[in-house]
Chain A
Amino acid sequence: MSQFLRDYLTVVWFAAIALLLAGLLLGISALVRPNKPTPQKLIAYESGVDPVGDGWSQSQIRYYIFALLFVVFDVEAVFIFPWATQLERYAGFGLVEMGVFVFVLLLGLVYAWRKGVLRWV
């Protein structure tokens, strides 16, 4: 196996040890902890009073718009990374190209700003 794949296999081992550690401690915990469920104990916590309505209440659409903006910017950040490593070779040409790219990116942000999307309320 190549070094490249081995490095990624190490990541799998790291995930496995995290699960193993958590499983071990939860297992020990399961042996020593008490377990006395009562109906009152198992209702959702709402500062002591009985919960009103459903726990899965509706939430606002603004979260969705921020998520959308995030996807746009994050994908564009992906394009900047390879350019950043090779800037020395591209020199002036790369600089102008990325200047245009970042300008368009900023334009998108300014557009969202002017549309009032970035205002939380």
Chain B
Amino acid sequence: MVAADLPYWAQSLLRVLGGTVAVLLPAGTIVYLFLFKMMSFMQSRLGPMEAGPYGSMQLFAEVGKWLQKEDIQPELADKRIFKIAPLIVLVSTFILVAVVPFGPDAWFTNFETGVFYALAVSSVSVLGILIAGWSSANKYSLLGGLRAAGQLIAYELPMVLAVIGVVIQAGTLNLQGIVVSQNAGSMFGWDGLGNPYILTQFVGFLVFMISVQAELTQTPFDMPIAESELVSGYMTEYSGFRFLIFFIAEFANVGVFTLIASILFLGGWGIPFSWFGWTSVDSIDNWMNVVGPLIMVTKMIVLSFIVMWVRFSYPRLREDQLQRFAWKVLIPVSLVNIMITAVLKVMF
């Protein structure tokens, strides 16, 4: 690849620019396409229509508006921690996207333990949310922060356990390796579609997507925000641009998590290798580095459509139902899923 010939600083610059695009572009797309437009259409209204054609410039208008908002920090708040909290959430999103591969050579980092890294880093945002709730010196914020922490750790487990099924099938923790093993694989000797793990790991996929929904605190699992009882949960005291950072990070996280879901279960950037007679990752043509990201974005939009569809359709779960669902349904199901996958893997 061309980037390999560049000096290290130029490579790093390219990577961080690519990473910024990979965080902000999905976030903007999801907010405009789903939050502004799809939600409006599902509720029989038009949504933003004034800024640009069909309101497509609304995002820029919003950012301009938020930039001018007064930054209010409550008197009693722990000010330094209060300011750090949104930054931690944003940093967590950025370092999570660092592990996502977008093409055979278009990756930011190529960790051997990529799955492990992704799962570890995805829980850093809990810290930001917890300290945001704590430092605000507000009862709503504190309750929201604690609920968020309780929920995120409860749903972290089924997510981790659901991924193990994929790791057993692929035999590697490297995300690039998981993509390759899906697209180079075959189902009962037929390799026309590769072997996307959504077919063999359908239970794992369901558990993973439900956990992602909860990790992102999207609606059936939005107890931490719960606007009808907690005002805005841990974000209650945030105003102006600090609030917007939380907001951007939330939707950027939707994008990153669905990107990771598409890598684990839908074949990532790849197309079945048999179509073009590729055998390994080295024999892939160079144009996949351009087509790969487009395939990824398509899969991301499909999966985040499902996340948002569920968000706009279902009522909120109660806190006890939410915890019960994670501990008594999802975790046992995913443990059984691991064992069944392992037995089948050893038998065949």
B93 within 8 A of A: yes
| CB nearest to B160 among chain A residues | A77
Contact indicator per residue, chain B 99-139, by CB within 8 Å of chain A (1) or not (0): 00000000011110001100000000000000000101111
Number of A residues, CB within 8 Å of B: 72
| Interface positions of A from 16 to 49, Cβ below 8 Å from B | 16-19, 21-22, 25-26, 28-30, 32-37, 39, 41-47
In the docked arrangement, what's the CA distance between A41 and B87, Å? Answer: 24
**Closest residue of chain B to A66, judged by CB?**
B150
Q: Which of B28-36, B214-222, B336-344 lies at the binding interface? A: B336-344
A73 to B158, CA, bound (A): 10
Residue of A nearest to B72 (CB): A41
Interchain CB contact under 8 A, B171 and A11: no
Would you call the interface of chain B mostly helix, strand, loop, or mixed? helix
B97 within 8 A of A: yes
Identify which of residues 106-121 in chain A touch chain B, using a CB-to-CB cut-off of 8 Å: 106, 109, 112-113, 118-121
Contact across chains for A120 and B173 when beta carbons are under 8 A apart: no
**Residues of A contacting B16 in the complex (Cβ-Cβ under 8 angstroms):** 13-14, 16-17
Nearest CB in chain B: distance from A91 CB, A = 5
Whether A113 and B328, one on each chain, are in contact in the complex, defined by CB atoms closer than 8 angstroms, is yes
B90 at the interface (CB under 8 A from A): yes
7 CB-based A-B contacts, threshold 8 Å:
A17-B16, A39-B75, A44-B138, A51-B139, A55-B136, A56-B142, A81-B116
User: Other CB < 8 Å A-B pairs besides A51-B139, A70-B153, A99-B339, 7 of them?
Assistant: A14-B98, A17-B19, A30-B71, A35-B70, A66-B323, A105-B335, A109-B327
